[in-house]
Structure 1
Amino acid sequence: MSTPLEKPQIISHIQKGLNYTVFDSKWIPCSAKFVCMGNFARGTGVIQIYEVQHGEVQLIKEIEKAKPFKCGTFGATSLQQRHLATGDFGGNLNIWNLEAPEIPVYSVKAHTEIVNTIDGVGGLGIGDGAPEIVTGSRDGTVKVWDPRQRDTPVANMEPIEGEAKRDCWTVAFGNACNDQDRCICAGYDNGDIKLFDLRNMSVRWETNIKNGVCCVEFDRKDINMNKLVATSLEGKFHVFDMRTQHPTKGFASVSEKAHKSTVWQARHLPQNRDIFMTAGGAGSLHLWKYEYPAQRSKKDADEIEMGVAGSASLLQNVTLSTQPIASLDWSPDKQGLCVCSAFDQTVRVLIVTKLNRV
């Protein structure tokens, strides 16, 4: 790219001030609508549905519930139903039909404390196998739920006996490329990252990145594990090459100092898994591209295969807010369209240009 004009540009298309603290925002698949979730000052939870119309956002529906909402996902629903699964401050996992949100279509007391993080797979045509939801909580546990098998988790990853209880901040599904294999990655407040193999119900790999893990995401959920991005409190992110696991060294990785403050989110572009955006505590967004090495694996001194890390290059960055950008979600349908929300009580619809040229 020779001139700045050829670079992708991050354009703030629409801004909307909100009268509540917003924790998460998600595009509704196959629509020009998105949801925002959070809590009112009076302590109740709120879900708002907005639609993008003629360069503005229109409030379509507002839903108020007893407990504040912390996180949500459409990952375990069908494109026909488009039900929203939410985690709240009371430790509850609920699934809502947004057309008729009076009572949840599924509800379970998932954790004893706040549900910090949620992810889904097996819905939206993404990932083989059953529709499943994973939740992570301040109570230190990570649980997997199949909404068809009512009230008990299909997997429960608790701290090992004698381990200190850690706050789980982030979870992500991956490796859902057939009916049997499925992995979960979880990140904790002490910098631990754990990869759970759901087929064997075991910890397949763990590492520590020295600082609290704010976000983990696989570049795709429905392929053999390829790359994992993990972001942390002190402004760094790490990209792990998940194709080759060495018995002692684990997965090869590259780290970048991305922001001057906490990196709250990393989200891969649905149309290109090598491009991702990070969202920072100082209100900035950074757009990155991962470059693969010439060879992704090599043999060590003992002739055992080990991974080779690539590099991440910064394509563009922009500062949108004075407050942390806590959530970011790409539109699955329109390349370059995304929604983000920040603690300045503002939701923004962004357009990222020229993504087909990088």
Structure 2
Amino acid sequence: MSSALEKPQIIAHIQKSLNYTVFDCKWIPCSAKFVCMGNFPRGTGVLQVYEVSHGELVLVKEIEKSKPFKCGTFGATSLQQRYLSTGDFDGNLHMWNLEAPEMPVYSVKAHKEIINSIDGVGGLGVGEGAPELVTGSRDGMVKVWDPRQKDTPVANMQPADGDTRRDCWTVAFGHAYSSQERCVCAGYDNGDIKLFDLRTMSLRWEKNIRNGVCCVEFDRKDINMNKLVATSLEGKFHVFDMRTQHPTKGFASVSEKAYKSTVWQVRHLPQNRDVFMTTGGAGNLHLWKYEYPAQRSKKDSENMDMGVAGTVTLLQNVTVSTQPIGSLDWSPDKQGLCVCTAFDQTVRVLIATKLNRV
């Protein structure tokens, strides 16, 4: 067991108060900049670009639009373009060139209600195949978009029973290791997790974790499915081993009661897929490491392959706010650097140290 001196530390490097409610933040790839998304008290949407410079945050650009922004991703664009795709409170999906943000470079009325979550793949050199975006909305729908095609989604997933009153809170791409393979995972307010196979256009797996699913994320998007973390309202998160799917039992999992409050987000460390951070409703951050079992699969009584779950170890935790931490993003370029936003209208840049030793 590592000593306290060797354990990773989470250091609050810079913090800045904002004059609006911030819902999401994302690092701009290949830069020391990040973008915050939210809404002003007057009801309009705001994008702010900040640069980390000499231990301070410098506001580089502020963009105001008519509708509040809920979520964003750079994942469906090239490293050269670095366009930001956003979902807003009116159900609009926009793609912005932050250098010339007057008009979106791509725009579609994607949903009837707020877009809660967005993810991208096929850009930034991550994942094989076409650049695509997935959106999940309060209208219960999950839709996949190719920004090169005008108005129609390339895939449209809705509950089989037609009950679109279900609220989709989170979506994530995975399994994009070849030009043919790709999956979308979605989490809903009633505790459902659904895995959609985009190659066969079918529901591959579903599970109910009994509490609203706040966030889902694969440990890597561009590999054969390995692990999936799902966080929930009641302080728990679940890690599913996605390598072996049993015909009736599905995927093996381990769950951890991490908080007394909602686990809002999970984000895997880009440089080490077995390390991830979760964010809590009481303003806390927990850094975890997943340990694989000696054997990841075994035979059941009928000689069918079934997965074996590993264990989760808490590496470090810290409280940085009195309010829920609603978003977090690791820098893809500098290990241990991350940005998070909380509902105290503050953005914080944090540094996690000694991650190469875990």
Q: Same fold (TM over 0.5)?
A: yes
Secondary structure at the aligned position of 2:5 is classed as helix
Q: Cα offset for 1:37? A: 0.2
Superimposed CA distance per residue, residues 171-228 of structure 1 (whole angstroms, 9 cap, x where no aligned partner)? 0000000001100000000000000000111100000000000000000000000000
Instruction: Report the equivalent of 1:55.
Output: 55
Alignment of 1:132-281 (within 5 A): 132-163=132-163, 165-281=165-281
| Conserved 8 A contact 1:239-1:255 | yes
**Residue 259 (structure 1) shift:** 1.1
1:263 and 1:257 mapped to 2: Cα distance? 10
**Range with greater deviation from structure 2 (152-161 or 330-339):** 152-161
Q: Note the aligned Cα RMSD (angstroms).
A: 0.6
Residues of 2 paired with 1:60 and 1:5: CA distance? 37
> 1:160 Cα deviation (Å)?
1.7
Secondary structure of 1:356's counterpart equals helix
Instruction: Answer whether contact 2:174 2:182 (CA < 8 A) is retained.
Output: yes
CA deviation profile, 1:213-271 (whole Å, cap 9, x unmatched) = 00000000000000000000000000000000000000000000011100000000000
| Deviation at residue 164 of structure 1 after TM alignment | 5.8
Worse-superposed segment, 164-173 or 55-64: 164-173
Distance in structure 2 (CA, Å) of the matches to 1:221 and 1:273: 10
Give the secondary-structure state (helix, strand or coil) at the position aligned to 1:19: coil
Letter of the aligned partner of 1:275 in structure 2? Answer: V
Q: Runs of 4 or more off by more than 6 Å in structure 1?
A: none
Change (3 A) 1:191 1:339: same
Task: Say whether the 8 Å CA contact 2:238–2:254 is kept in structure 1.
Answer: yes
Distance 1:120 1:96 in 2: 14
Shift of residue 64, structure 1, vs aligned partner: 0.1
Q: Which residue of 2 aligns with 1:34?
A: 34
Partner in structure 1 of residue 75 of structure 2: 75
Q: Distance in 2 between matches of 1:137 and 1:296?
A: 35
Residue 91 (1) aligns with residue 94 (2): no
Partner AA of 1:265 in structure 2: Q
Deviation at 1:340, TM superposition (A): 0.2
Taking structure 2 as the reference length, the TM-score comes to: 0.99
How far apart are the structure 2 equivalents of 1:126 and 1:26?
Answer: 16
> How far apart in 1 are the matches of 2:295 and 2:2?
27
| Paired residue type of 2:52 | V
Q: Name the structure 2 match of 1:46.
A: 46
Shift of 1:161: 3.2
How many residue pairs get aligned? The number is: 358
8 Å CA contact 1:159, 1:165 repeated in 2: no
What code does the residue aligned with 1:55 have? G
The residue aligned with 2:102 is 102
* CA deviation string 1:50-99 (max 9, x = no partner): 00000000000000000000000000010000000000000000000000
* Structure 1 unmatched runs, 5+: none
Structure 2 contact 27–329 (Cα < 8 Å) conserved:
yes
Superposition map of 1:323-334 within 5 A: 323-334=323-334
> Normalised by the size of structure 1, how large is the TM-score?
0.99
1: distance between equivalents of 2:97 and 2:278?
A: 30
Q: Tell me, yes or no, if the aligned pair for 1:74 and 1:84 is still in contact at 8 Å.
A: yes
Query: What is the one-letter code of the residue matched to 2:109?
Result: K
CA distance in 1, matches of 2:266, 2:163: 28
Q: Is contact 2:24–2:327 with CA below 8 Å preserved after alignment?
A: yes
**C-alpha distance in structure 1 between counterparts of 2:64 and 2:19, whole Å:** 13
Kept in 1: contact 2:233–2:262 (CA 8 A): yes
Q: Show structure 2 runs of 5+ residues with no match.
A: none
